[in-house]
Structure 1
Protein backbone atom coordinates (compact mmCIF):
# COMPACT_ATOMS: atom_id res chain seq x y z
CA UNK A 1 0.00 0.00 0.00
CA UNK A 2 1.50 3.30 -1.10
CA UNK A 3 1.60 6.51 0.92
CA UNK A 4 -1.39 7.98 -0.90
CA UNK A 5 -3.57 4.94 -0.23
CA UNK A 6 -2.42 4.82 3.39
CA UNK A 7 -3.40 8.46 3.90
CA UNK A 8 -6.80 7.77 2.34
CA UNK A 9 -7.25 4.78 4.66
CA UNK A 10 -6.43 6.92 7.71
CA UNK A 11 -8.79 9.66 6.53
CA UNK A 12 -11.58 7.12 6.05
CA UNK A 13 -11.02 5.72 9.54
CA UNK A 14 -11.02 9.25 10.97
CA UNK A 15 -14.31 10.06 9.21
CA UNK A 16 -16.06 6.86 10.27
CA UNK A 17 -14.66 7.23 13.77
CA UNK A 18 -16.01 10.79 13.77
CA UNK A 19 -19.52 9.53 13.03
CA UNK A 20 -19.79 8.23 16.60
CA UNK A 21 -18.68 11.62 17.93
CA UNK A 22 -21.33 13.50 15.94
CA UNK A 23 -24.08 11.00 16.83
CA UNK A 24 -23.17 11.33 20.51
CA UNK A 25 -23.37 15.12 20.20
CA UNK A 26 -26.62 15.37 18.24
CA UNK A 27 -28.81 12.36 19.15
CA UNK A 28 -29.54 13.41 22.76
CA UNK A 29 -30.48 16.91 21.54
CA UNK A 30 -32.66 16.38 18.45
CA UNK A 31 -33.54 12.68 18.73
CA UNK A 32 -32.12 9.61 16.95
CA UNK A 33 -34.58 9.19 14.07
CA UNK A 34 -34.56 12.77 12.75
CA UNK A 35 -30.77 12.82 13.10
CA UNK A 36 -30.38 9.72 10.93
CA UNK A 37 -32.99 10.91 8.42
CA UNK A 38 -30.91 14.04 7.84
CA UNK A 39 -27.72 11.99 7.79
CA UNK A 40 -29.09 9.77 5.04
CA UNK A 41 -30.63 12.64 3.09
CA UNK A 42 -27.45 14.74 3.10
CA UNK A 43 -25.38 11.71 2.06
CA UNK A 44 -27.85 10.80 -0.71
CA UNK A 45 -27.87 14.37 -2.07
CA UNK A 46 -24.07 14.50 -2.01
CA UNK A 47 -23.82 11.19 -3.87
CA UNK A 48 -26.47 12.38 -6.34
CA UNK A 49 -24.31 15.41 -7.15
CA UNK A 50 -21.31 13.15 -7.67
CA UNK A 51 -23.38 10.78 -9.84
CA UNK A 52 -24.50 13.68 -12.05
CA UNK A 53 -20.91 14.85 -12.46
CA UNK A 54 -19.72 11.33 -13.25
CA UNK A 55 -22.81 10.54 -15.36
CA UNK A 56 -23.54 7.39 -13.38
CA UNK A 57 -27.03 5.88 -13.60
CA UNK A 58 -28.72 3.87 -10.86
CA UNK A 59 -30.93 1.56 -12.96
CA UNK A 60 -33.51 1.83 -10.20
CA UNK A 61 -36.18 -0.24 -11.94
CA UNK A 62 -33.79 -3.15 -12.26
CA UNK A 63 -32.14 -3.00 -8.82
CA UNK A 64 -34.68 -1.32 -6.51
CA UNK A 65 -35.20 -4.44 -4.38
CA UNK A 66 -31.44 -4.82 -3.98
CA UNK A 67 -31.05 -1.16 -2.99
CA UNK A 68 -33.92 -1.49 -0.50
CA UNK A 69 -32.42 -4.58 1.14
CA UNK A 70 -28.96 -3.07 1.36
CA UNK A 71 -30.28 0.34 2.37
CA UNK A 72 -32.25 -1.07 5.28
CA UNK A 73 -29.71 -3.47 6.77
CA UNK A 74 -26.53 -1.57 5.90
CA UNK A 75 -27.68 2.00 6.60
CA UNK A 76 -31.15 2.84 7.91
CA UNK A 77 -31.47 0.21 10.65
CA UNK A 78 -27.88 0.20 12.01
CA UNK A 79 -27.62 4.01 11.84
CA UNK A 80 -30.89 4.36 13.77
CA UNK A 81 -29.87 1.79 16.39
CA UNK A 82 -26.49 3.46 16.90
CA UNK A 83 -28.09 6.89 17.19
CA UNK A 84 -30.54 5.53 19.77
CA UNK A 85 -27.63 4.08 21.76
CA UNK A 86 -25.71 7.36 21.39
CA UNK A 87 -28.27 9.04 23.65
CA UNK A 88 -26.72 7.11 26.54
CA UNK A 89 -23.41 5.48 25.59
CA UNK A 90 -20.11 7.25 24.95
CA UNK A 91 -18.68 7.66 21.45
CA UNK A 92 -15.73 5.51 22.53
CA UNK A 93 -17.89 2.58 23.64
CA UNK A 94 -20.10 2.85 20.55
CA UNK A 95 -17.14 2.66 18.17
CA UNK A 96 -15.69 -0.38 19.92
CA UNK A 97 -19.01 -2.28 20.09
CA UNK A 98 -19.52 -1.53 16.40
CA UNK A 99 -16.20 -3.26 15.65
CA UNK A 100 -17.91 -6.60 16.38
CA UNK A 101 -19.77 -6.32 13.03
CA UNK A 102 -17.27 -8.47 11.06
CA UNK A 103 -17.61 -11.20 13.70
CA UNK A 104 -21.39 -11.38 13.30
CA UNK A 105 -21.00 -11.19 9.53
CA UNK A 106 -18.55 -14.09 9.38
CA UNK A 107 -20.74 -16.28 11.60
CA UNK A 108 -23.90 -15.51 9.60
CA UNK A 109 -22.15 -16.14 6.29
CA UNK A 110 -20.89 -19.51 7.59
CA UNK A 111 -24.42 -20.47 8.67
CA UNK A 112 -26.05 -19.14 5.49
CA UNK A 113 -23.73 -20.95 3.09
CA UNK A 114 -23.24 -23.98 5.38
CA UNK A 115 -19.47 -23.62 5.58
CA UNK A 116 -17.52 -25.11 8.45
CA UNK A 117 -16.72 -22.80 11.36
CA UNK A 118 -13.06 -23.38 12.23
CA UNK A 119 -11.57 -23.49 15.71
CA UNK A 120 -9.88 -20.14 15.00
CA UNK A 121 -13.27 -18.61 14.20
CA UNK A 122 -14.76 -20.00 17.41
CA UNK A 123 -11.87 -18.61 19.46
CA UNK A 124 -12.30 -15.26 17.72
CA UNK A 125 -16.01 -15.22 18.52
CA UNK A 126 -15.36 -16.08 22.17
CA UNK A 127 -12.71 -13.34 22.37
CA UNK A 128 -15.18 -10.86 20.94
CA UNK A 129 -17.75 -11.80 23.57
CA UNK A 130 -15.10 -11.61 26.31
CA UNK A 131 -14.00 -8.18 25.12
CA UNK A 132 -17.57 -6.88 25.16
CA UNK A 133 -18.09 -8.32 28.65
CA UNK A 134 -14.92 -6.61 29.89
CA UNK A 135 -15.97 -3.29 28.41
CA UNK A 136 -19.43 -3.45 29.90
CA UNK A 137 -18.34 -4.78 33.28
CA UNK A 138 -16.18 -1.76 34.09
CA UNK A 139 -17.96 1.09 32.26
CA UNK A 140 -19.62 3.52 34.69
CA UNK A 141 -22.01 4.73 31.97
CA UNK A 142 -23.81 1.43 32.33
CA UNK A 143 -25.12 2.60 35.70
CA UNK A 144 -27.24 5.19 33.87
CA UNK A 145 -30.95 4.49 33.20
CA UNK A 146 -31.53 2.90 29.80
CA UNK A 147 -27.91 1.86 29.34
CA UNK A 148 -28.78 -1.84 29.04
CA UNK A 149 -31.13 -1.22 26.12
CA UNK A 150 -28.54 1.10 24.57
CA UNK A 151 -25.92 -1.67 24.62
CA UNK A 152 -28.37 -4.12 23.03
CA UNK A 153 -29.22 -1.65 20.26
CA UNK A 154 -25.53 -0.89 19.60
CA UNK A 155 -24.79 -4.61 19.25
CA UNK A 156 -27.96 -4.93 17.17
CA UNK A 157 -26.51 -2.36 14.77
CA UNK A 158 -23.34 -4.45 14.44
CA UNK A 159 -25.50 -7.54 13.87
CA UNK A 160 -27.44 -5.66 11.17
CA UNK A 161 -24.17 -4.93 9.35
CA UNK A 162 -23.50 -8.67 9.56
CA UNK A 163 -26.86 -9.38 7.89
CA UNK A 164 -25.99 -6.89 5.14
CA UNK A 165 -22.65 -8.62 4.56
CA UNK A 166 -24.36 -12.01 4.35
CA UNK A 167 -26.93 -10.69 1.89
CA UNK A 168 -24.23 -9.05 -0.25
CA UNK A 169 -22.40 -12.36 -0.60
CA UNK A 170 -25.22 -13.88 -2.62
CA UNK A 171 -26.72 -10.74 -4.17
CA UNK A 172 -26.61 -9.77 -7.83
CA UNK A 173 -23.49 -7.89 -8.83
CA UNK A 174 -23.99 -4.11 -8.83
CA UNK A 175 -21.09 -1.72 -9.23
CA UNK A 176 -19.90 -0.25 -5.89
CA UNK A 177 -20.80 3.42 -6.42
CA UNK A 178 -24.35 2.51 -7.48
CA UNK A 179 -24.63 0.34 -4.36
CA UNK A 180 -23.70 3.30 -2.16
CA UNK A 181 -25.87 5.82 -4.01
CA UNK A 182 -28.94 3.62 -4.51
CA UNK A 183 -28.93 2.16 -1.01
CA UNK A 184 -28.61 5.64 0.52
CA UNK A 185 -31.77 6.85 -1.24
CA UNK A 186 -33.57 3.63 -0.31
CA UNK A 187 -32.57 4.06 3.33
CA UNK A 188 -33.74 7.68 3.30
CA UNK A 189 -37.25 6.70 2.18
CA UNK A 190 -37.46 3.54 4.30
CA UNK A 191 -36.80 5.48 7.51
CA UNK A 192 -39.58 8.04 6.96
CA UNK A 193 -42.44 5.83 8.33
CA UNK A 194 -40.49 5.38 11.58
CA UNK A 195 -40.04 9.10 12.29
CA UNK A 196 -43.31 9.46 14.29
CA UNK A 197 -42.16 6.71 16.66
CA UNK A 198 -39.21 8.75 17.92
CA UNK A 199 -39.77 12.21 19.42
CA UNK A 200 -37.80 14.95 17.68
CA UNK A 201 -36.68 18.21 19.23
CA UNK A 202 -35.83 21.15 16.95
CA UNK A 203 -32.70 23.14 17.75
CA UNK A 204 -31.03 26.35 16.66
CA UNK A 205 -27.68 25.35 18.16
CA UNK A 206 -25.13 25.88 15.38
CA UNK A 207 -22.83 23.24 16.87
CA UNK A 208 -25.51 20.57 16.64
CA UNK A 209 -26.58 21.65 13.16
CA UNK A 210 -22.93 21.54 12.06
CA UNK A 211 -22.56 18.05 13.57
CA UNK A 212 -25.57 16.78 11.56
CA UNK A 213 -24.22 18.25 8.30
CA UNK A 214 -20.72 16.86 8.87
CA UNK A 215 -22.19 13.46 9.78
CA UNK A 216 -24.21 13.28 6.57
CA UNK A 217 -21.88 14.77 3.99
CA UNK A 218 -18.43 13.85 5.22
CA UNK A 219 -18.80 10.85 7.56
CA UNK A 220 -21.24 9.16 5.18
CA UNK A 221 -21.14 10.56 1.64
CA UNK A 222 -17.43 11.36 1.35
CA UNK A 223 -16.52 8.28 3.41
CA UNK A 224 -18.36 6.00 0.98
CA UNK A 225 -16.49 7.53 -1.94
CA UNK A 226 -13.16 7.06 -0.19
CA UNK A 227 -13.97 3.47 0.69
CA UNK A 228 -14.88 2.44 -2.83
CA UNK A 229 -11.89 4.33 -4.23
CA UNK A 230 -9.64 2.37 -1.89
CA UNK A 231 -11.22 -0.90 -3.02
CA UNK A 232 -10.41 0.04 -6.61
CA UNK A 233 -6.83 1.02 -5.78
CA UNK A 234 -5.68 -1.59 -3.25
CA UNK A 235 -8.37 -4.28 -3.24
CA UNK A 236 -11.16 -5.18 -0.83
CA UNK A 237 -8.88 -7.01 1.65
CA UNK A 238 -6.63 -4.00 2.15
CA UNK A 239 -9.55 -1.56 2.29
CA UNK A 240 -11.26 -3.64 4.99
CA UNK A 241 -8.34 -3.00 7.36
CA UNK A 242 -10.16 0.26 8.14
CA UNK A 243 -12.28 -1.84 10.53
CA UNK A 244 -9.30 -2.01 12.89
CA UNK A 245 -8.61 1.73 12.75
CA UNK A 246 -12.12 3.13 13.24
CA UNK A 247 -12.32 2.34 17.01
CA UNK A 248 -8.96 4.07 17.53
CA UNK A 249 -10.34 7.29 16.08
CA UNK A 250 -13.70 6.80 17.81
CA UNK A 251 -11.93 6.67 21.18
CA UNK A 252 -9.57 9.51 20.22
CA UNK A 253 -12.33 11.94 19.14
CA UNK A 254 -14.39 11.09 22.23
CA UNK A 255 -11.40 11.76 24.48
CA UNK A 256 -10.25 14.98 22.78
CA UNK A 257 -13.58 16.63 21.99
CA UNK A 258 -16.04 15.24 24.54
CA UNK A 259 -13.64 14.65 27.43
CA UNK A 260 -14.65 11.00 27.63
CA UNK A 261 -12.47 8.99 30.01
CA UNK A 262 -10.31 6.24 28.55
CA UNK A 263 -9.77 3.58 31.19
CA UNK A 264 -7.68 0.44 31.13
CA UNK A 265 -10.85 -1.57 30.43
CA UNK A 266 -11.50 0.51 27.30
CA UNK A 267 -8.06 -0.20 25.87
CA UNK A 268 -7.93 -3.85 26.92
CA UNK A 269 -11.53 -4.67 25.98
CA UNK A 270 -11.15 -2.93 22.62
CA UNK A 271 -7.91 -4.79 21.91
CA UNK A 272 -9.52 -8.14 22.73
CA UNK A 273 -12.49 -7.39 20.44
CA UNK A 274 -10.21 -6.40 17.58
CA UNK A 275 -8.11 -9.53 18.09
CA UNK A 276 -11.25 -11.66 17.96
CA UNK A 277 -12.36 -9.83 14.81
CA UNK A 278 -8.99 -10.47 13.17
CA UNK A 279 -9.23 -14.19 13.97
CA UNK A 280 -12.78 -14.53 12.67
CA UNK A 281 -12.13 -12.59 9.46
CA UNK A 282 -8.73 -14.18 8.85
CA UNK A 283 -6.97 -10.81 8.82
CA UNK A 284 -3.20 -11.30 8.69
CA UNK A 285 -1.13 -8.11 8.33
CA UNK A 286 2.04 -10.02 7.38
CA UNK A 287 0.30 -11.93 4.60
CA UNK A 288 -1.29 -8.71 3.40
CA UNK A 289 2.08 -6.98 3.22
CA UNK A 290 3.58 -9.95 1.35
CA UNK A 291 0.77 -9.80 -1.22
CA UNK A 292 1.28 -6.10 -1.74
CA UNK A 293 5.05 -6.56 -2.09
CA UNK A 294 4.55 -9.34 -4.64
CA UNK A 295 2.07 -7.22 -6.59
CA UNK A 296 4.56 -4.35 -6.79
CA UNK A 297 7.42 -6.51 -8.14
Structure 2
Protein backbone atom coordinates (compact mmCIF):
# COMPACT_ATOMS: atom_id res chain seq x y z
CA UNK A 1 0.00 0.00 0.00
CA UNK A 2 1.34 3.42 -0.95
CA UNK A 3 2.30 5.69 2.00
CA UNK A 4 -0.51 8.16 1.23
CA UNK A 5 -3.12 5.39 1.06
CA UNK A 6 -1.75 3.90 4.28
CA UNK A 7 -2.26 7.26 5.98
CA UNK A 8 -5.76 7.48 4.52
CA UNK A 9 -6.61 3.99 5.82
CA UNK A 10 -5.40 4.85 9.32
CA UNK A 11 -7.20 8.19 9.12
CA UNK A 12 -10.50 6.49 8.28
CA UNK A 13 -10.09 4.13 11.24
CA UNK A 14 -9.34 7.13 13.46
CA UNK A 15 -12.55 8.81 12.28
CA UNK A 16 -14.60 5.68 12.92
CA UNK A 17 -13.07 5.18 16.37
CA UNK A 18 -13.41 8.82 17.41
CA UNK A 19 -16.98 8.78 16.12
CA UNK A 20 -18.07 6.99 19.31
CA UNK A 21 -17.02 10.07 21.30
CA UNK A 22 -18.67 12.46 18.86
CA UNK A 23 -21.87 10.41 19.09
CA UNK A 24 -21.82 10.71 22.88
CA UNK A 25 -21.75 14.51 22.54
CA UNK A 26 -24.87 14.38 20.38
CA UNK A 27 -26.63 11.84 22.59
CA UNK A 28 -26.07 14.03 25.64
CA UNK A 29 -28.54 16.54 24.19
CA UNK A 30 -30.64 14.73 21.57
CA UNK A 31 -32.78 11.57 21.92
CA UNK A 32 -31.06 8.66 20.09
CA UNK A 33 -33.71 8.05 17.41
CA UNK A 34 -34.09 11.76 16.70
CA UNK A 35 -30.30 12.06 16.49
CA UNK A 36 -30.22 9.33 13.86
CA UNK A 37 -33.15 10.84 11.95
CA UNK A 38 -31.27 14.14 11.73
CA UNK A 39 -28.09 12.37 10.64
CA UNK A 40 -29.77 10.43 7.84
CA UNK A 41 -31.83 13.44 6.83
CA UNK A 42 -28.66 15.50 6.34
CA UNK A 43 -26.99 12.69 4.37
CA UNK A 44 -30.02 12.44 2.08
CA UNK A 45 -30.09 16.22 1.61
CA UNK A 46 -26.43 16.25 0.58
CA UNK A 47 -26.35 13.14 -1.62
CA UNK A 48 -29.75 12.46 -3.22
CA UNK A 49 -29.69 15.49 -5.58
CA UNK A 50 -26.49 14.11 -7.14
CA UNK A 51 -27.18 10.36 -7.41
CA UNK A 52 -29.83 8.46 -9.36
CA UNK A 53 -31.55 5.32 -8.17
CA UNK A 54 -31.53 2.62 -10.91
CA UNK A 55 -34.88 1.09 -11.80
CA UNK A 56 -35.93 -2.00 -9.93
CA UNK A 57 -33.63 -1.43 -6.95
CA UNK A 58 -36.06 0.23 -4.54
CA UNK A 59 -36.83 -3.05 -2.80
CA UNK A 60 -33.14 -3.74 -2.08
CA UNK A 61 -32.56 -0.24 -0.73
CA UNK A 62 -35.76 -0.38 1.36
CA UNK A 63 -34.68 -3.66 2.97
CA UNK A 64 -31.29 -2.15 3.75
CA UNK A 65 -32.91 0.99 5.16
CA UNK A 66 -35.02 -1.11 7.54
CA UNK A 67 -32.16 -3.40 8.60
CA UNK A 68 -29.28 -0.95 8.78
CA UNK A 69 -30.83 2.51 8.98
CA UNK A 70 -33.79 1.80 11.26
CA UNK A 71 -32.98 -1.35 13.24
CA UNK A 72 -29.18 -1.39 13.57
CA UNK A 73 -28.68 2.29 14.30
CA UNK A 74 -31.69 2.50 16.62
CA UNK A 75 -30.37 -0.35 18.76
CA UNK A 76 -26.78 0.86 18.55
CA UNK A 77 -27.41 4.45 19.57
CA UNK A 78 -29.96 3.69 22.29
CA UNK A 79 -27.36 1.35 23.76
CA UNK A 80 -24.53 3.85 23.27
CA UNK A 81 -26.51 6.49 25.16
CA UNK A 82 -26.26 4.33 28.30
CA UNK A 83 -22.71 2.90 28.15
CA UNK A 84 -19.21 4.32 27.74
CA UNK A 85 -17.96 5.02 24.23
CA UNK A 86 -15.02 2.67 24.87
CA UNK A 87 -17.37 -0.17 25.82
CA UNK A 88 -19.52 0.33 22.72
CA UNK A 89 -16.44 0.44 20.47
CA UNK A 90 -15.47 -3.02 21.69
CA UNK A 91 -18.90 -4.66 21.94
CA UNK A 92 -19.92 -3.70 18.39
CA UNK A 93 -17.01 -5.85 17.13
CA UNK A 94 -19.33 -8.83 17.70
CA UNK A 95 -20.42 -7.99 14.15
CA UNK A 96 -17.33 -9.81 12.82
CA UNK A 97 -17.99 -13.25 14.37
CA UNK A 98 -21.71 -12.78 13.65
CA UNK A 99 -20.92 -12.17 9.97
CA UNK A 100 -18.73 -15.28 9.87
CA UNK A 101 -21.49 -17.37 11.45
CA UNK A 102 -24.18 -16.09 9.07
CA UNK A 103 -21.88 -16.72 6.10
CA UNK A 104 -21.50 -20.32 7.27
CA UNK A 105 -25.25 -20.81 7.73
CA UNK A 106 -26.44 -19.04 4.57
CA UNK A 107 -23.59 -19.57 2.11
CA UNK A 108 -21.87 -22.68 3.40
CA UNK A 109 -18.59 -20.87 4.12
CA UNK A 110 -16.16 -23.08 5.99
CA UNK A 111 -15.32 -21.76 9.44
CA UNK A 112 -12.33 -23.92 10.35
CA UNK A 113 -10.98 -24.40 13.84
CA UNK A 114 -8.89 -21.22 13.83
CA UNK A 115 -11.81 -18.94 12.95
CA UNK A 116 -14.06 -20.85 15.38
CA UNK A 117 -11.44 -20.17 18.05
CA UNK A 118 -11.42 -16.50 17.03
CA UNK A 119 -15.20 -16.34 17.39
CA UNK A 120 -15.03 -17.88 20.86
CA UNK A 121 -12.23 -15.55 21.98
CA UNK A 122 -14.05 -12.45 20.66
CA UNK A 123 -17.29 -13.38 22.39
CA UNK A 124 -15.36 -14.22 25.54
CA UNK A 125 -13.80 -10.75 25.47
CA UNK A 126 -17.22 -9.13 25.35
CA UNK A 127 -18.33 -11.38 28.22
CA UNK A 128 -15.36 -10.21 30.32
CA UNK A 129 -16.29 -6.63 29.60
CA UNK A 130 -19.99 -7.13 30.37
CA UNK A 131 -19.13 -8.95 33.59
CA UNK A 132 -17.54 -5.88 35.17
CA UNK A 133 -19.66 -4.95 38.23
CA UNK A 134 -20.11 -1.31 37.18
CA UNK A 135 -21.91 -2.51 34.04
CA UNK A 136 -24.48 -4.58 35.93
CA UNK A 137 -27.14 -1.89 35.58
CA UNK A 138 -26.38 -1.41 31.87
CA UNK A 139 -26.38 -5.02 30.69
CA UNK A 140 -29.56 -4.31 28.74
CA UNK A 141 -27.73 -1.54 26.83
CA UNK A 142 -24.81 -3.86 26.08
CA UNK A 143 -27.37 -6.41 24.90
CA UNK A 144 -28.84 -3.82 22.53
CA UNK A 145 -25.39 -3.16 21.05
CA UNK A 146 -24.76 -6.91 20.63
CA UNK A 147 -28.13 -7.20 18.86
CA UNK A 148 -27.21 -4.20 16.71
CA UNK A 149 -23.99 -5.97 15.74
CA UNK A 150 -25.90 -9.09 14.68
CA UNK A 151 -28.34 -7.00 12.63
CA UNK A 152 -25.34 -5.26 11.04
CA UNK A 153 -23.98 -8.66 10.04
CA UNK A 154 -27.30 -9.45 8.35
CA UNK A 155 -27.27 -6.07 6.61
CA UNK A 156 -23.82 -6.88 5.22
CA UNK A 157 -25.34 -9.89 3.48
CA UNK A 158 -28.01 -7.65 1.97
CA UNK A 159 -25.29 -5.26 0.77
CA UNK A 160 -23.57 -8.10 -1.08
CA UNK A 161 -26.61 -8.14 -3.37
CA UNK A 162 -26.03 -4.48 -4.17
CA UNK A 163 -22.39 -4.48 -5.25
CA UNK A 164 -23.36 -3.04 -8.64
CA UNK A 165 -24.54 0.19 -7.00
CA UNK A 166 -22.24 3.08 -6.17
CA UNK A 167 -21.78 3.54 -2.39
CA UNK A 168 -22.97 7.15 -2.62
CA UNK A 169 -26.17 5.96 -4.28
CA UNK A 170 -26.76 3.41 -1.54
CA UNK A 171 -25.99 5.87 1.27
CA UNK A 172 -28.07 8.66 -0.23
CA UNK A 173 -31.24 6.75 -1.01
CA UNK A 174 -31.05 4.52 2.06
CA UNK A 175 -30.79 7.68 4.15
CA UNK A 176 -33.80 9.19 2.39
CA UNK A 177 -35.87 6.14 3.36
CA UNK A 178 -34.41 5.68 6.84
CA UNK A 179 -34.80 9.29 8.01
CA UNK A 180 -38.64 9.35 8.06
CA UNK A 181 -38.73 5.85 9.59
CA UNK A 182 -36.48 7.00 12.43
CA UNK A 183 -38.44 10.22 12.87
CA UNK A 184 -41.70 8.27 13.18
CA UNK A 185 -40.07 5.87 15.64
CA UNK A 186 -38.82 8.85 17.66
CA UNK A 187 -42.29 10.41 17.76
CA UNK A 188 -43.78 7.10 18.94
CA UNK A 189 -41.17 6.17 21.54
CA UNK A 190 -39.30 9.29 22.62
CA UNK A 191 -40.46 12.64 23.98
CA UNK A 192 -39.11 16.16 24.30
CA UNK A 193 -37.93 16.29 20.69
CA UNK A 194 -38.86 19.92 20.09
CA UNK A 195 -37.25 21.07 23.32
CA UNK A 196 -34.11 19.06 22.51
CA UNK A 197 -33.81 20.56 19.03
CA UNK A 198 -34.43 24.15 20.14
CA UNK A 199 -32.05 23.89 23.10
CA UNK A 200 -29.30 21.87 21.41
CA UNK A 201 -25.86 23.44 21.62
CA UNK A 202 -23.30 23.76 18.87
CA UNK A 203 -21.71 20.51 20.10
CA UNK A 204 -24.89 18.56 19.36
CA UNK A 205 -25.22 20.00 15.86
CA UNK A 206 -21.52 19.42 15.29
CA UNK A 207 -22.11 15.78 16.18
CA UNK A 208 -24.93 15.51 13.62
CA UNK A 209 -22.78 17.15 10.93
CA UNK A 210 -19.76 14.99 11.78
CA UNK A 211 -21.85 11.83 11.54
CA UNK A 212 -23.32 12.79 8.18
CA UNK A 213 -20.47 14.55 6.39
CA UNK A 214 -17.25 13.14 7.85
CA UNK A 215 -18.35 9.59 8.71
CA UNK A 216 -20.97 8.65 6.12
CA UNK A 217 -19.95 10.71 3.09
CA UNK A 218 -16.22 11.45 3.42
CA UNK A 219 -14.72 8.45 5.23
CA UNK A 220 -16.78 5.81 3.44
CA UNK A 221 -15.88 7.32 0.05
CA UNK A 222 -12.19 6.93 0.92
CA UNK A 223 -12.67 3.44 2.32
CA UNK A 224 -14.53 2.13 -0.73
CA UNK A 225 -11.81 3.56 -2.98
CA UNK A 226 -9.19 1.69 -0.96
CA UNK A 227 -11.24 -1.52 -1.15
CA UNK A 228 -11.35 -1.24 -4.93
CA UNK A 229 -7.62 -0.48 -5.17
CA UNK A 230 -6.15 -3.04 -2.79
CA UNK A 231 -6.90 -6.62 -1.79
CA UNK A 232 -8.97 -7.44 1.27
CA UNK A 233 -5.87 -8.84 2.99
CA UNK A 234 -4.25 -5.41 2.62
CA UNK A 235 -7.22 -3.36 3.80
CA UNK A 236 -9.28 -5.29 6.36
CA UNK A 237 -6.56 -5.59 9.04
CA UNK A 238 -6.73 -1.82 9.45
CA UNK A 239 -10.27 -2.17 10.82
CA UNK A 240 -8.71 -3.64 13.96
CA UNK A 241 -7.65 -0.08 14.78
CA UNK A 242 -11.27 1.10 15.18
CA UNK A 243 -11.84 -0.29 18.70
CA UNK A 244 -8.33 0.83 19.68
CA UNK A 245 -9.04 4.41 18.63
CA UNK A 246 -12.53 4.16 20.15
CA UNK A 247 -11.18 3.14 23.56
CA UNK A 248 -8.37 5.71 23.50
CA UNK A 249 -10.80 8.46 22.47
CA UNK A 250 -13.25 7.58 25.24
CA UNK A 251 -10.51 7.56 27.87
CA UNK A 252 -8.80 10.74 26.64
CA UNK A 253 -11.77 12.94 25.72
CA UNK A 254 -14.56 11.68 27.98
CA UNK A 255 -12.45 10.67 31.00
CA UNK A 256 -13.86 7.15 30.85
CA UNK A 257 -12.16 4.67 33.22
CA UNK A 258 -9.57 2.31 31.72
CA UNK A 259 -10.34 -0.66 33.98
CA UNK A 260 -8.63 -4.04 33.83
CA UNK A 261 -11.79 -5.69 32.54
CA UNK A 262 -11.97 -3.11 29.74
CA UNK A 263 -8.36 -3.76 28.79
CA UNK A 264 -8.55 -7.56 29.07
CA UNK A 265 -11.93 -7.78 27.37
CA UNK A 266 -10.84 -5.38 24.66
CA UNK A 267 -7.60 -7.26 23.97
CA UNK A 268 -9.41 -10.61 23.85
CA UNK A 269 -12.07 -9.25 21.51
CA UNK A 270 -9.41 -7.68 19.29
CA UNK A 271 -7.43 -10.93 19.11
CA UNK A 272 -10.54 -12.93 18.26
CA UNK A 273 -11.69 -10.49 15.60
CA UNK A 274 -8.16 -10.38 14.20
CA UNK A 275 -8.08 -14.16 13.81
CA UNK A 276 -11.42 -14.12 11.98
CA UNK A 277 -10.38 -11.31 9.64
CA UNK A 278 -6.92 -12.69 8.87
CA UNK A 279 -8.27 -16.23 8.29
CA UNK A 280 -10.99 -14.98 5.91
CA UNK A 281 -11.94 -17.66 3.30
CA UNK A 282 -10.97 -16.97 -0.31
CA UNK A 283 -14.61 -16.90 -1.44
CA UNK A 284 -15.42 -14.24 1.13
CA UNK A 285 -12.31 -12.28 0.12
CA UNK A 286 -13.48 -12.21 -3.47
CA UNK A 287 -16.92 -10.94 -2.45
CA UNK A 288 -15.55 -8.29 -0.09
CA UNK A 289 -13.16 -7.03 -2.75
CA UNK A 290 -16.04 -5.74 -4.87
CA UNK A 291 -18.16 -4.26 -2.04
TM-score in terms of structure 2 length: 0.86
Deviation at 1:16, TM superposition (A): 1.2
- Which residue is equivalent to 1:10? 10
Q: How does 1:219-258 map to 2 (within 5 A)?
A: 219-258=215-254
Deviation at 1:191, TM superposition (A): 2.2
Deviation at 1:136, TM superposition (A): 1.4
Deviation at 1:193, TM superposition (A): 2.6
Name segments (4+ residues, structure 1) moved above 6 Å.
Answer: none
Deviation at 1:237, TM superposition (A): 4.1
- Which residue is equivalent to 2:153? 162
Q: Distance in 2 between matches of 1:237 and 1:63?
A: 30
1:75 maps to 2:66: no
> Deviations for 1:7-55, whole angstroms, at most 9, x for unmatched residues?
1111111111122112222224211000011111222333346xx3xxx
Contact 1:101 1:161 survives alignment (8 Å): yes
Contact 1:99 1:243 survives alignment (8 Å): no
> Deviations for 1:45-69, whole angstroms, at most 9, x for unmatched residues?
33346xx3xxx4322x321111112
Is 191-200 or 156-165 further displaced after alignment?
Answer: 191-200
- Which residue is equivalent to 1:180? 171
Deviation at 1:236, TM superposition (A): 4.0
- Which residue is equivalent to 2:261? 265
Contact 1:12 1:242 survives alignment (8 Å): no
Unpaired runs of at least 5, structure 2: 281-291
> Deviations for 1:211-263, whole angstroms, at most 9, x for unmatched residues?
22212221222122122121122244433334211111111211121111112
Q: How does 1:1-297 map to 2 (within 5 A)?
A: 1-48=1-48, 52=50, 56-59=51-54, 61-138=55-132, 140=134, 142-144=135-137, 147-170=138-161, 173-196=164-187, 197-199=189-191, 200=193, 201-202=196-197, 203-283=199-279
Unpaired runs of at least 5, structure 1: 285-297
Contact 1:99 1:244 survives alignment (8 Å): no
Change (3 A) 1:32 1:232: same
TM-score in terms of structure 1 length: 0.84
Q: Once superposed, what is the RMSD of the aligned Cα atoms?
A: 2.2
Is 102-111 or 223-232 further displaced after alignment?
Answer: 223-232
Q: How many residue pairs end up in the alignment?
A: 276
Q: Distance in 2 between matches of 1:174 and 1:205?
A: 37
Deviation at 1:198, TM superposition (A): 2.1
Is 250-259 or 234-243 further displaced after alignment?
Answer: 234-243
